[in-house]
Amino acid sequence: MSFSFGSVCSGIEAASVAFQPLGWSPAWFSEIDSFPSELLKQRFPNVKNLGDMTTLPERIRAGEIEAPDLLCGGTPCQAFSVAGKRLSLDDQRGNLTLTFCEIANEIESKRSEQILPPPVVLWENVPGVLNTKDNAFGCFLAGICGADFPLEIPHGRWPGAGIVAGPKRRVAWRTLDAQFFGVPQRRKRVFVIASADNRLDPSKILFERQGVRGNTETCESTRKNVAAYAESSFGAFCECDLGGTIRASGGSNGGGSETLILDISYRNDVVREYENTSPTLTAKMGTGGNNVPCLLERSVRKLTPIECERLQGFPDDWTRINHKGKSKEFCPDGPRYKAVGNSWAVPVVRWIGERIKSEIHR
C-alpha cells in the first residue's frame, strides 16, 4: 500500500529518513532556510520544496499540490523555547502553529472531495509550548480538534501527555525523550497525533498500556486512579469514557471546562541506557564556536558534526553537502550544527511511524 506524506518546516528531513524503511514516500517539502533547502535539493532531487508554508492552504485548496495521507512538521520552537524570548503566539513564528492547523484542514477537505480517508497529522514542538501565558497549546488543540474556543485547564500548565476528542478530530499528545529510543541525547519533545478517521486511534499510537506485559492488575489500578483523578478534579464538567476520551465541544465556558486531560506518560520499555548522555542539541550550536556539546576523553573537545548527526540518528555526513558553490569537502560546520540542532531525533519519529503504520493496517 502506497502512503505519502507532506512535510512542513522540513529542515534536513528527519521524517524522510525515519519513514523510508516503512515504505512511505514524501509528496512535498516546505522549507525556506537556505542551507536545509539546498540539502533537500541534493538529497531529494525528485521531491519539490514548496517554500513558504503560509502559501500551502490556498495551493492545496486549488488542487495545485497533493493532499497526502499524512501531514507532519515541527513549527518553529523559538517562540516557546526557554532558550528564546518566549513570545509565543505574539511571535510570527509561533503563529505558524495555527497555519499548520489550517493546512491540515485543507488537506482533509481535499481528500474528502477525492473520497479518500482523512489524513493522519503529526506535530512536534518543545515542552515549553505546554506552559505559555497565552495558552498557545490550548489554541493549537482547539484548532486541530475543531473546538470553537481555545481549550483550557484549571492550573494553566498542560501535562506531558493527554487525549482530547473534538468535533473535527481525536488528538493525543505525549512528551518523549530521545535518550530512551537508542541515541545518547537528552531531548524531550512534545509529539501530537491527530486524525478524523474513526478506524485510527491516536492514543494507541502514542500510549503503551502497562497491561501489555500481562500486568492486568497494574493496568486496572491505573485506570481506577485516572478515573478518580478525573472525577475529583473536573466533576460534572467531564464527559469521559473508560478510555479517557474527552469531548471538547467548545461550549459556553470558553471550550475549556468540558476538557479533561489525563497524564498517562509512562514508558517502561527503555530501548537502551547510557552512562554518558549528551545534553539537548540546539540550533545555536556552532555560532561563534560556542554551545557545541563537549566530550571528555583524554582532553576536552567539542563534538564533531558527524557525532551530532549520530546523536540525532542520521547517517554520517547527512548534512555534508555542496554549499555556496563549494564542494562538500569544504562544507562549513556552522550551518551543519544549526540544521542538526533544529531537527528531530530520527529514532523517535520512526517509532511513531511504525505505530501509525501498525494502527492503519490493524
Cα(172)–Cα(151) distance, integer angstroms: 14
**Catalytic status, residue 294:** no
- Residue 6's contacts (CB-CB under 8 Å, 6 or more residues apart) are 26, 27, 28, 29, 30, 65, 66, 68, 70, 71, 72, 103, 107
Cα(109)–Cα(61) distance, integer angstroms: 8
Residue with cell 475549556: 256
CA atoms within 13 A on the CB side of 35: 20
Cα(56)–Cα(75) distance, integer angstroms: 14
Which one-letter amino acid corresponds to residue 42?
Q
Strands 170-177 and 120-125: unpaired
Residue 196, CA distances (Å) to 184, 202, 317, 358 in order: 35, 10, 39, 17
Which three cell numbers mark 107?
Answer: 488537506
Strands 294-296 and 300-302: antiparallel
Residue 70, CA distances (Å) to 151, 208, 230, 292 in order: 24, 22, 32, 34
Catalytic residue among 77, 101, 240, 308: 77
User: Is the dihedral angle over the CA atoms 154, 158, 163, 169 positive or is it negative?
Assistant: positive
- The string of DSSP codes covering 58-120 is HHHHTTSS---SEEEE----TTT-TTS---GGGSHHHHHHHHHHHHHHHHHHHHHHTT-PPPE
Cα(36)–Cα(340) distance, integer angstroms: 10
Name the β-bridge partners of 72.
Answer: 7, 122
Catalytic residues: 77
